[in-house]
């Protein structure tokens, strides 16, 4: 039997439970350690996908949480008490009470986030395998312009964890920063299916699209003059927005796209709105440009 770093076996971490053992396996056991309860059924297709992924995440937590698998067909009383109406359903118990949960199959990255939340809510600390520290270091390198060093560090993380969405997205962004757009696109296209829809990869895809646009962007001064001479020339305003973003002025690009949307939201099949969303996806969600831009766009949509 393979041991984890705390010296407990997988059998100690994961077990099958039922109504008769629920009080001991979940309520009592959760007084000291959070217990993840996976409600599944043999006829539930998504359960067959989620269950093994959940088990791997629990094992990776190295004893910070434990897991009990409950066949919902044989636990109707508990299903009723917890008002569970669909499968799979996952609950986390601590001190005898449910503290978190979700329904349906979710990506591995969301499972890990769930496990981390449960550990934190119970006052524990998720095991640090060093990968997060390496990712933080790579992000710092990227910010300082050391693109090749960042790319190598992200690649090293992916060597340890091929499904690490943060490292995968970082690797793509490093390639974009190095001007290797074709290589970045190939890497995105080859992303593991488990993380293909992760926010980090969506952001990298948006940055790649904007980088390709930047290669064709016109001169800012000329486009600015064209817009000033003809404020209702929407194509010129759109081109100016692209040029501004390509030159590092994301705020200016957003302002012109908002003005374009205000003048004609349907222009070029809604190109202004689509471009705004691309920029929002490329930036960090908490960026003031994103927060203010989304708010202004919403006010225009619902005005």
Q: Which residues are catalytic?
A: 44, 47
Query: Hunting for tokens 């990776």 — which residue is that?
Result: 60
The span from the CA of 54 to the CA of 156, in Å, is 25
Collapsing DSSP states into helix, strand and coil, what is residue 220? helix
For 145, which DSSP code?
A: T
């Amino acid at each position: 039997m393979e041991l984890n770093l705390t010296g407990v076996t997988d059998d100690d971490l994961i077990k099958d439970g039922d109504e008769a053992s629920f009080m001991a396996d979940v309520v009592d056991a959760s007084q000291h350690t959070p217990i993840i309860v996976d409600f599944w059924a043999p006829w539930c297709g998504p359960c067959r996908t989620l269950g093994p992924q959940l088990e791997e995440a629990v094992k990776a937590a190295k004893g910070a949480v434990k897991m009990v698998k409950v066949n919902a067909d044989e636990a109707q009383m508990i299903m009723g008490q917890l008002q569970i109406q669909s499968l799979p359903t996952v609950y986390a118990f601590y001190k005898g009470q449910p503290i978190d949960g979700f329904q349906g199959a979710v990506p591995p990255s969301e499972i890990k986030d769930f496990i981390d939340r449960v550990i934190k809510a119970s006052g524990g600390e998720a095991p640090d395998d060093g990968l997060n520290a390496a990712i933080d270091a790579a992000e710092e390198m990227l910010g300082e312009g050391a693109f090749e060093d960042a790319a190598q560090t992200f690649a090293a993380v992916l060597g340890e964890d091929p499904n690490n969405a943060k490292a995968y997205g970082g690797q793509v962004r490093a390639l974009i920063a190095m001007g290797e757009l074709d290589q970045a696109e190939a890497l995105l296209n080859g992303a593991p299916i488990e993380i293909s829809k992760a926010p980090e990869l969506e952001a990298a895809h948006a940055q790649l699209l904007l980088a390709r646009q930047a290669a064709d962007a016109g001169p800012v001064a000329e486009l600015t003059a064209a817009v000033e001479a003809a404020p209702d020339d929407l194509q010129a305003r759109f081109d100016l927005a692209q040029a501004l973003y390509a030159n590092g002025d994301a705020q200016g690009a957003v302002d012109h796209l908002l003005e374009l949307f205000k003048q004609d939201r349907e222009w070029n099949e809604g190109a202004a709105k689509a471009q705004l969303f691309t920029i929002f996806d490329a930036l960090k969600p908490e960026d003031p440009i994103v927060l203010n831009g989304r708010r202004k766009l919403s006010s225009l949509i619902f005005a």
